[in-house]
Structure 1
Amino acid sequence: MTEEKKFQLAELKDINIDEDPVRPELDLEFRTSFGRKIFGLKDEDGEVAAIMCFAFTDKVPTSVEEMDILSKDAAMQAVHRAGVQGSIAIAYTVWAKKKGGGKHIVNEVYKMIKQSSHLNRLVTLSPLTAMAERFHLKNGAKLLQVNETTQNFEYDIELEQWEKFLTRVKKIKDKIPFLK
């Protein structure tokens, strides 16, 4: 029986962009400005197993250029919303440094976004490649749209029925004497 590895999602401030097989042309400043973030999945040894870069927007972009504009707009609007930036997490690049890292980072990011109070969608801005399509479909995403130079996949982050029920019970538990 193999033991399941433990992973931890961590925000990274610095990465080697030359390792990025998807969008190596995007420099570190692009990846970390206007509220954009880089997340790494660290394994139990503290080594980075996978990396995923995000922009936060209020609309689904169809190109890197549009994502740049939309994430800048969301960053400017966040000034008026107590720092809350965008309702859609746009994953625009992901790569594994270790076997299985890609799948695990998708799972951990999914959990993080599902627990977020302001993010309600997880959408990719993926290249028009069969590899990107296979990866996202295999990991549970649905094809949202095909654009001129990219394609968007969406991971469903709706609460499961039991999660909705649990939320309702938590809201009413103080009103029911035997649940106190």
Structure 2
Amino acid sequence: MRTLKLYIVLAFCLTAVSARAQTTNYQVYALFVMNIAKYSSWPSPDGELRITVFGKSKAYDELLKHNGKNVNGHLVKVTQVENAADIGQPHVLYLADGKSGSLDEIIKATHGKPVMIITEREGLYKKGAGFSFVVMDNSTLRFDINNTDLEKRSIKVSKSLSALANTMI
């Protein structure tokens, strides 16, 4: 039943709402982040699901709409930072497109920690991010997964979520 719900939510996102390069729909990005978090698990979770946006992105405003909501028994707490030193201990780190050049710094700052890195820029899953968004030719938003990185960080992603990936390593 849970798998069916996941397919319905993500199928809606993939078909009903498009993310165009010129007019990016950050509401869809935020919805994907929330569903990725919902179908993932971290070691030793506490009472919060901390999502930190690194850099300026309109996705932050959309993620704020989920602040205080419950995901798998955890209250969502959304913050935004501009410096790697201010990251803290998030469960999800959303890397804004304008800060994509900071990926190596982010990977070093979170090395050995159960932090899922999700990037707006396509292809960064090949460089160590757990997820990268990709806008398809038909303008739908999809994601690529780096399971190797997620496993190193002790983060588990449901098989049904992995099955929806555009590309997976």
| TM-score, scaled to structure 2 | 0.32
Compare relative contact order (CA 8 Å, sep 6+) and give the higher one, 1 or 2. Answer: 2
| TM-score, scaled to structure 1 | 0.31
